[in-house]
Each structure stands twice: as C-alpha cells, then as structure tokens.
Amino acid sequence: MTDPNLTAKLQEILRPKLRFLTPGADVPMDEDLGKLGLDSMASIDLLMDIESQLGVQIPDELMTAETFETGHHLLAVIEKLM
C-alpha cells in the first residue's frame, strides 16, 4: 500500500518541474512526465530534490527512462529504496 504522505511529498517535489502542468492542478501520477514538461535538466533537479528531501539515493542502475516515465513509476522505485 502506497503511503499517501509519500505520494503527496513526491507530487510537491514534481510540481515545479512539470512546466506544462496547469498551475494549481494536481500532479497526475499516471501521465507521462515528459509530456508534462519534465526534460533532462529538470530530471537532474528532480533527482537532487528527491535525494535531499526524501533521503533516498536512486542507484545508477535505476536511472532509466522507465523510472522517470510517470509519477507512479518513480514512486514505486522510491518506495523500494526506503
């Protein structure tokens, strides 16, 4: 079962990186993050924010397009590492 607090925290971290997301809109966890505006530079910022704010270090072998495909994919990786 997904921790709703972790989901909310990840959405808070994701929101400023998704430049095509309507201001004030919920972060759709099942939509393609690239289509929402997450580019390679924003992905690096996202990774650094996840590491600093959630205390999780994503190992190199999990640095894949699939990991960063949707919020749900990213959340699943983070949960496995916690």
Q: Identify whether the C-beta of residue 34 lies closer than 8 Å to the C-beta of residue 43.
A: no
Of all residues in the chain, the percent with pLDDT exceeding 90 is 90
**Structure confidence at residue 24 (pLDDT):** 86
What number is the average pLDDT over the span 23-43? Answer: 94
Which CATH number characterizes residue 42's domain? 1.10.1200.10
User: How many C-beta neighbours within 10 Å does residue 45 have?
Assistant: 14
Q: How far is CA 60 from CA 31, 46, 47, 57, in A?
A: 24, 15, 11, 9
Range of the domain at 66: 4-18+30-81
Which whole number is the average pLDDT over 54-64? 94
Instruction: Tell me whether residue 62 is in a domain.
Output: yes
Q: What is the pTM of this model?
A: 0.91
Does 51 reside within a domain?
yes
19 has pLDDT over 90? yes
Say if 74 falls within a structural domain.
yes
With respect to residue 56, please indicate whether it lies within any of the assigned structural domains.
Answer: yes
Q: Domains in the chain: how many in total? A: 1
**What does the mean pLDDT of the chain come to?**
94
